[in-house]
């Protein structure tokens, strides 16, 4: 995997706005040193800066639940066959909002964050930021304030102390987009078309991940392969292939899925959960997914043959609908955000954009990889819809999660007439793909991409491998 980028933006505006916060007001950001009625925290968390790994795991589990819930509430369909999101990024944004929420709204937010039973929540969640400096993850946060908007100093101070979110005057959309582009290393340009004049506060964070496989894939070995969308259809994708790849692989009878963990350098790993063909689909596996449980049960690394699609996917989504389904609808109608300002505020949008790229890249293969002599070739071929999670190994926090049902949405699907679909042998297909590719080398491209709708016979050579080793 090369890159993962994501951004969550919470826009707040004054409710029932009639008074104009006069954009372009000369006085730049003066958060008015008003009454500092910051009540002391119920718990005293300040003395305790080093949190135990158990506490961090608890936060990781809370972030995982948030991510799973969101995945469940986002549609997967033909138009949007893939979802990529960062539960971590959303958790940071909602946690920061929680700092300014009061009364029912605060309770509701803590509940959605699964933080209502976690002591010192903001301290531990915020403490993840320095922790991630030891990984390949970059998190950037920032708070845009409309000049003239009166914000409580305590909110600004807490946001800075806990979430390193610096206040910056909201000037124009170009400046915001420039920051987004920079924080995502150029991968999300033109994030916003415009900023409505009634938006007075924007809470933003950007997460950037660039990981190097511990064991790289050889670009020379990448070739066309088949990805089975369902029992009827497949698409042609670029498959990264390795004949000898060290992998922790588990076939889970309860999930009815194959589960594998691909390690990156720097203590993160990519978890892939691929339901077995003929069983359940990716969405129906979601309710039972439990990352820490799976990591506990994954066996030791074993060298095997691995096929992984090379993908580059983008996802942009306004999350209001999904968050409303999760019970956070009142954020958009009438929340109590009196910790941010005396003006009645509401959330106008939660914007989210992400891209993911899986590629061969990685530094040289680990020299310690033992190439065992293999008596029987086992194979893990990621060639049907799967769930993924990019996991921080220390805290088991899902940094990113997603569902991929079509890794090549721009390619035309073709009928899949593989006789083994639904018979549990899908994953063994690719052994023969190489053979087939060699046979059809000269014309496979044409027959794969240009399906004859009448004849259909040309499809055969593309999707139906002949002969099966197992
Ligand atoms: C919190 O704990 C620290 C040390 O543990 C102590 O110095 C400080 O006074 C405590 N604060 C409150 C408000 O109890
Ligand atoms: C996973 O299962 C363990 C118990 O096996 C439980 O403590 C933990 O809360 C579960 N995590 C999630 C995210 O459901
Ligand atoms: C918001 O919460 C504060 C603090 O609990 C409370 O004083 C205030 O009345 C609440 N506002 C509304 C509109 O409920
Ligand atoms: C919370 O809000 C409700 C009404 O919205 C109000 O009745 C209650 O007194 C508030 N609680 C506090 C602690 O302000
Ligand atoms: C980062 O890693 C170094 C060495 O591996 C360790 O000493 C340090 O405590 C780590 N920092 C955090 C915040 O985890
Ligand atoms: C872009 O980001 C880098 C760090 O990622 C920072 O050092 C630099 O100042 C930023 N540039 C702008 C124009 O914000
Ligand atoms: C990864 O974790 C191991 C211990 O689990 C630690 O020794 C090593 O320093 C960590 N690597 C990084 C880059 O933090
Ligand atoms: C997944 O399976 C469930 C039933 O198990 C079904 O309701 C749902 O529509 C299926 N989703 C997709 C995307 O096929
Ligand atoms: C499934 O595989 C078995 C042998 O493993 C075979 O007898 C059976 O016909 C296959 N079923 C389908 C639907 O291909
Ligand atoms: C196959 O198709 C791809 C894109 O459609 C093209 O880049 C490539 O050159 C083609 N290969 C052959 C052998 O025609």
Following DSSP, what letter does each residue of 285-326 receive, concatenated?
Answer: HGGG--HHHHHHH----EEEEEEEE-EEEEEEEE-HHHHIII
User: How many whole angstroms from 393 Cα to the centroid of ligand 7?
Assistant: 9
For residue 385, give the ligand nearest its CA: 8
pLDDT of 453 reads 36
Pairing between strand 3-14 and 82-85? unpaired
Q: Is the CB of 32 under 6 A from ligand 1?
A: no
Average pLDDT for residues 455-461, to the nearest whole number? 33
Q: Which of 419, 423, 427 to mutate to test the pocket of ligand 9 (most atoms within 8 A of CB)?
A: 423
Output the ligand 8 site: residues, CB below 6 A: 76, 280-281, 283-284
Whose C-alpha lies nearest to ligand 10, atom 4?
445
465 pLDDT more than 50: no
| 217 to 105, 237, 307, 361: CA distances (angstroms) | 48, 16, 10, 7
Q: Is-contact 453 445, C-beta < 8 A?
A: no
Whose C-alpha lies nearest to ligand 2, atom 14?
290
Look at residue 423 and give its three-state secondary structure. coil
Mean pLDDT of the chain: 78
Q: Is the CB of 232 under 6 A from ligand 6?
A: no
Whose C-alpha lies nearest to ligand 4, atom 8?
103
* Ligand 8 atom with least separation from CA of 405: 13
pLDDT of 377 reads 62
User: How many whole angstroms from 134 Cα to the centroid of ligand 5?
Assistant: 6
217 pLDDT more than 70: yes
pLDDT of 47 reads 55
Summarize pLDDT for 311-344 with one digit per residue, the tens.
888 888 889 999 999 999 999 988 999 999 888 8
Whose C-alpha lies nearest to ligand 8, atom 6?
284
Q: Which of 81, 281, 287, 386 to mutate to test the pocket of ligand 8 (most atoms within 8 A of CB)?
A: 281
pLDDT of 164 reads 92
End-to-end CA distance of the chain: 30
The pLDDT confidence band at residue 183, using thresholds 50, 70 and 90, is confident
User: How many whole angstroms from 7 Cα to the centroid of ligand 8?
Assistant: 29
291 pLDDT more than 90: yes
- Which is more confident, 390 or 40? 390
pLDDT of 339 reads 93
User: How many whole angstroms from 288 Cα to the centroid of ligand 8?
Assistant: 15
Q: Which candidate, 382, 399, 381, places its Cα nearest to that of 390?
A: 399
Question: For residue 460, what are the contacts with CB-CB under 8 A and spacing of at least 6?
Answer: 417
Output the ligand 10 site: residues, CB below 6 A: 445, 449
The pLDDT confidence band at residue 417, using thresholds 50, 70 and 90, is low
pLDDT of 426 reads 40
Whose C-alpha lies nearest to ligand 5, atom 4?
134
Residues 333 and 158: their CA atoms lie apart, in Å, by 25
pLDDT of 352 reads 87
Q: Looking at domain 2-54+78-211+313-357, what is its CATH homologous superfamily?
A: Antithrombin, subunit I, domain 2 (3.30.497.10)
Summarize pLDDT for 341-400 with one digit per residue, the tens.
888 888 988 888 888 888 887 432 222 223 333 444 688 999 999 999 999 999 999 999
- Which is more confident, 418 or 109? 109
Q: Which candidate, 460, 449, 384, 446, places its Cα nearest to that of 412?
A: 449
Give the residue carrying structure tokens 């994954």: 298
pLDDT of 34 reads 37
10 pLDDT more than 90: no
User: How many whole angstroms from 130 Cα to the centroid of ligand 2?
Assistant: 25
Q: Which candidate, 62, 84, 76, 75, places its Cα nearest to that of 1?
A: 84
Whose C-alpha lies nearest to ligand 9, atom 2?
423
279 pLDDT more than 60: yes
pLDDT of 116 reads 87
- HSE of 466 in the Cβ direction (CA atoms, 13 Å)? 8
Summarize pLDDT for 425-457 with one digit per residue, the tens.
444 443 333 333 333 333 333 333 333 333 333
33 pLDDT more than 60: no
For residue 334, give the ligand nearest its CA: 3
pLDDT of 119 reads 85
Whose C-alpha lies nearest to ligand 2, atom 13?
61
* Ligand 4 atom with least separation from CA of 103: 1
The pLDDT confidence band at residue 256, using thresholds 50, 70 and 90, is very high
Q: Which of 115, 288, 292 to mutate to test the pocket of ligand 2 (most atoms within 8 A of CB)?
A: 292
Is the pTM higher than 0.75? The answer reads: yes
- Which is more confident, 270 or 456? 270
pLDDT of 414 reads 83
Summarize pLDDT for 62-102 with one digit per residue, the tens.
999 999 999 999 999 888 899 988 899 999 999 999 999 99
Percent above pLDDT 90 for the chain = 40
Alpha helices per DSSP H over 16-102: 53-73, 87-99
Average pLDDT for residues 278-298, to the nearest whole number? 92
Summarize pLDDT for 104-156 with one digit per residue, the tens.
999 999 999 999 888 889 998 998 888 888 777 888 899 999 898 889 999 99
């Amino acid at each position: 995997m090369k890159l993962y980028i994501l951004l969550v933006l919470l826009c707040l505006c004054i409710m029932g706005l009639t008074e104009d916060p006069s954009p372009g007001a000369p006085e730049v950001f003066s958060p008015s040193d008003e009454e500092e009625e910051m009540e002391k925290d119920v718990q005293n968390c300040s003395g305790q800066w080093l949190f135990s790994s158990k506490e961090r795991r608890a936060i990781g589990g809370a972030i995982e639940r948030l991510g799973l819930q969101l995945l469940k509430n986002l549609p997967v369909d033909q138009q949007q066959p893939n979802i990529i999101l960062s539960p971590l990024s959303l958790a940071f944004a909602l946690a920061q909002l929680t700092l300014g929420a009061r009364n029912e709204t605060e309770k509701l937010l803590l509940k959605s964050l699964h933080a209502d039973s976690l002591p010192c929540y903001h301290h531990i969640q915020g403490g993840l930021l320095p922790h991630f400096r030891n990984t390949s993850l970059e998190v950037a946060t920032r708070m845009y304030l409309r000049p003239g908007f009166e914000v409580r100093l305590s909110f600004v101070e807490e946001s800075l102390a806990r979430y390193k979110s610096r206040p910056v005057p909201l000037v124009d959309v170009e400046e915001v987009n420039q920051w987004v582009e920079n924080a995502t290393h150029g991968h999300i340009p033109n994030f916003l078309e415009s900023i409505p004049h009634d938006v007075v506060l924007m809470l933003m964070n950007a997460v950037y991940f660039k990981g190097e496989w511990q064991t790289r894939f050889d670009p020379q070995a990448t070739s066309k392969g088949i990805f089975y969308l369902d029992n009827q259809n497949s698409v042609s994708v670029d498959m990264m292939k390795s004949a000898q790849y060290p992998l922790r692989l588990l076939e889970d009878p309860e999930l009815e899925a194959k589960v594998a963990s691909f390690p990156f350098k720097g203590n993160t790993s990519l978890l892939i959960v691929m339901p077995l063909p003929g069983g359940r689909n990716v969405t129906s596996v979601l309710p039972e997914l439990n990352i820490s449980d799976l990591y506990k049960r994954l066996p030791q690394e074993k060298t095997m043959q691995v096929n992984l699609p090379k993908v580059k996917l983008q996802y942009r989504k306004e999350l209001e609908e999904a968050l409303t389904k999760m019970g956070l609808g009142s954020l958009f109608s009438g929340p109590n955000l009196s910790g941010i300002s005396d003006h009645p505020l509401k959330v106008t949008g939660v914007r989210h954009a992400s891209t993911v790229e899986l590629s061969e890249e990685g530094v040289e293969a680990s020299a310690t990889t033992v190439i065992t002599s293999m008596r029987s070739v086992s194979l893990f071929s990621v060639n049907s819809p799967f769930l993924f999670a990019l996991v921080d190994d220390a805290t088991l926090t899902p940094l990113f999660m997603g569902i991929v049902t079509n890794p090549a949405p721009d390619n035309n699907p073709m009928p899949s007439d593989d006789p083994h679909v639904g018979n549990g042998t899908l994953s063994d297909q690719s052994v023969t793909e190489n053979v087939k590719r060699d046979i059809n080398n000269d014309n496979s491209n044409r027959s794969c991409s240009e399906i004859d709708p009448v004849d259909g016979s040309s499809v055969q050579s593309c999707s139906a491998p002949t002969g099966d080793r197992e």
